[in-house]
A and B are shown apart, each in its own frame.
Chain A
Amino acid sequence: MVAVDAGLQREAHAMAADLLLVNGLDASDFGDVLLDSLRGGGVAACLVSSSRSGVGLFDELDSPHHAFLNARADRMALATSVADVQRIHREGRVAIIFGLQVADMVEEDVGRLVSLHAMGLRSSGLAYNIGNYIGSGCTELDQGPLSRFGVQFVEALQALRIVVDIGGHCSEATAFDALKHTAGPVVCSHTTARTLRNNPRAMTDGLCRAIADRGGVIGVAAFSYFLLPAGRGTVEDYLRHVDYLAKLVGTEHVGLGLDFILGKNTRGPVTDTASFPPGVYPQSWEEWIYPEGISDFTGLTTVIAGLMKRGYSQEEIARLMGENWLRVWRDIWGA
């Protein structure tokens, strides 16, 4: 088991009750397994992202997502502003934010972002591992800056005040180019530190600093394979990345980007090897795992205890566990 003593765990539990816990990105199936875990972990707000990239996502956001929100309206609600998040939290419900990890479904028409924004979209990634109309992906052999359409796309995101989510899944060249064509805070919703774990999905110190310099936030993913070269690991492996990044760029610029896949019961070999190539991703779904102690939202108390043990103050822990996301979202969304 994870080495945190019972006294510290009790203190962490007490502290968690006073904090606003925010997950900057999740990939779980949008259903009861996720909702139960969020409530079990006392999470105030969670950005959910679809794994679908095609235009069918319009339908998903429009009906199944909204239908599920309506069906569980006593326990959750869609937030499109930080004021919404705070209100929904006060009401004892979980605030849900819609985000995209990849913008393939916009195809070559930035006009679609207007509709997506109206449907509640508040954050968008650029490319997901492989290249698209916008930019290049982190697993491509040949990586480079935004395309001409990509420049138009990030400008449109900014005009609509949708969070520009760079890094992690897109290539570093595309991420740096997106920084050049945007102003104000941008984020990386879910990644890890490449210095600790050399994997294309993990971000370099240089890109982390660049995002922090712009007032942004880097969400730390809990996916085992991006934390350590082999095995499942423990919450200590997760904390190692949080701690490293907090020391690198400051506690104002690091947050949770857990990227769980709760409720997704995929089995067997990974078939889409173009998107999930060997060496970057485990090639069997059974190995898409999360560390002991932080494999769902109920593990957040253990994360808090670990930060306390490492000497972080309550104020710093509050930032890392949620306030940073709220600050940057307020900066970008405007309320």
Chain B
Amino acid sequence: MGSLRRGAITRRAFVSSAGVGGLALLSHPAGSALPGVPEEPSASILACVPLAAPGRGMTAARETVAALRRAGAAAAVVPVIETEHLTDAMRALAQWRQMMSEQTELCVPGLEPIDWAPRHRGGRVALIAHSHGVQWLGRDLSLVPEFRALGLRITKLCSGWRSLCADGCFEATDLGLTSWGRDVVRALNHHRLVIDLAYTGRKSSLDAMRVSQHPVVFSHVNAAAVHAHPLNLTDEQIQACAKTGGVIGVSAFPTLLADAGATIDDFVRHVEYITRLVGIDHVALGLDFDTRRTIRFPTDPLPTGPYQYPKGVAGFADLAGLRSTFAKRGFNASARAAIFSGNLERVFRQVWDAA
């Protein structure tokens, strides 16, 4: 039974990444249809689904989870910790577990790949806890396994501003990884947490990819060659990410797609560009449907919102349509499966199951 589940996941899972603080979701499989949930050939895993950002509240979080479930998502990476330090970060994880325990009909914790296996989740969404930074770690590496035990499975090194580990892409500077940052990368590898380098500065991210023994992800950023922006990735970063075996979750956040009036074509263009550069195995859906951002310094290169997501990639209800769009653009079934779930699933398996 167990092996059957695993096989089913591999074939059916599809990954879509949903932007900052993402939530990877796998759409429910054929044969486990729930009322109101469309049948899907394979379920998405989304790399970035902002779910419970500060001030959004539990109602909004619940609505997001319900929308994911309606869209048939299998798993989603959700930013549970934003930039909190130790105590508040632990509280955020506790609240996340509480939220999940209050809506067991909608979601399950995404702790292992088996959690988004169709029979296990039964049409619910596996939520994978993510952190936007490692402020909670301070200078104490012994906290890494503790946070893993609390359910954290993927973390950024830096929230855009310089951290103890890395420089951020909101800074005027572009420094390399600190010596502490190297230790942190090794500790995250050792304790099998996925490293997300979105928002880490260019030089620091390249350093981190050199140090990391595991694949890394950029959960919700795009290609700078398509649209120049401090958050978007240079070809060198994209190639380095592919070399780790990692994945870039393409974001639908309008500021990262185009200068103005971003469309679904822009979104596809970023996917196509990354695919041409490094192949189909390194791109996923980051989406990042977000409602507002924390702006800390006037120089932060992100608008405060509200955001106009492009028609056709504006919400989880668009996932099915997006799949057709990719089909029309020449992505065959296996390419679509790779983008919508397979690639992200591969990285999670590789990192989480590492010996």
SS of B interface (majority)? loop
A91 at the interface (CB under 8 A from B): no
How far, in angstroms, from A150 to B296 measured CA to CA in the complex?
13
- For chain A, give the interface size range: 20 to 34
Q: A133: which B residues are within 8 A, CB to CB?
A: 161-164
The one of B83, B161, B175, B182 that contacts A144, using a Cβ cutoff of 8 Å:
B175
What is the minimal beta-carbon distance from A2 to any residue of chain B, in angstroms? 38
Residue of B nearest to A129 (CB): B179
Q: Given A54-B138, A132-B164, A133-B162, are A147 and B179 also a contact pair (CB < 8 Å)?
A: no
Q: Could you say which of A57-65, A93-101, A134-142, A242-250 contacts chain B?
A: A134-142
How far, in angstroms, from A144 to B172 measured CA to CA in the complex?
10
Beta-carbon contact of A140 and B173 below 8 Å: no
A277 at the interface (CB under 8 A from B): yes
- Within A124-158, the residues touching B (CB, 8 Å) are 130-133, 136-137, 139-145, 147-150
Q: B175: which A residues are within 8 A, CB to CB?
A: 131, 136, 140, 142-144
Beta-carbon contact of B179 and A139 below 8 Å: yes
Beta-carbon contact of B139 and A148 below 8 Å: no
The one of A54, A104, A131, A150 that contacts B178, using a Cβ cutoff of 8 Å:
A131
How far, in angstroms, from A107 to B163 measured CA to CA in the complex?
10
Residue of A nearest to B170 (CB): A148
Q: What are the interface flags for B132-168 relative to A under an 8 Å C-beta threshold, 1 for contact and 0 otherwise?
A: 0001001110000000000000000000011110010
State the interface size on chain B (CB cutoff 8 A).
28
How far, in angstroms, from A142 to B138 measured CA to CA in the complex?
20
Q: B173: which A residues are within 8 A, CB to CB?
A: 144-145, 147
How far, in angstroms, from A104 to B140 measured CA to CA in the complex?
13
Residue of A nearest to B162 (CB): A147
Beta-carbon contact of A142 and B176 below 8 Å: yes
A316 at the interface (CB under 8 A from B): no
B180 at the interface (CB under 8 A from A): yes
B63 at the interface (CB under 8 A from A): no
A274 at the interface (CB under 8 A from B): yes
List 21 A–B pairs whose Cβ atoms lie within 8 Å, in order of A's numbering. Answer: A53-B139, A54-B138, A108-B85, A130-B164, A130-B178, A131-B175, A131-B178, A131-B179, A133-B162, A133-B164, A137-B178, A139-B179, A141-B176, A141-B179, A142-B203, A144-B173, A145-B172, A147-B161, A148-B297, A274-B180, A277-B179
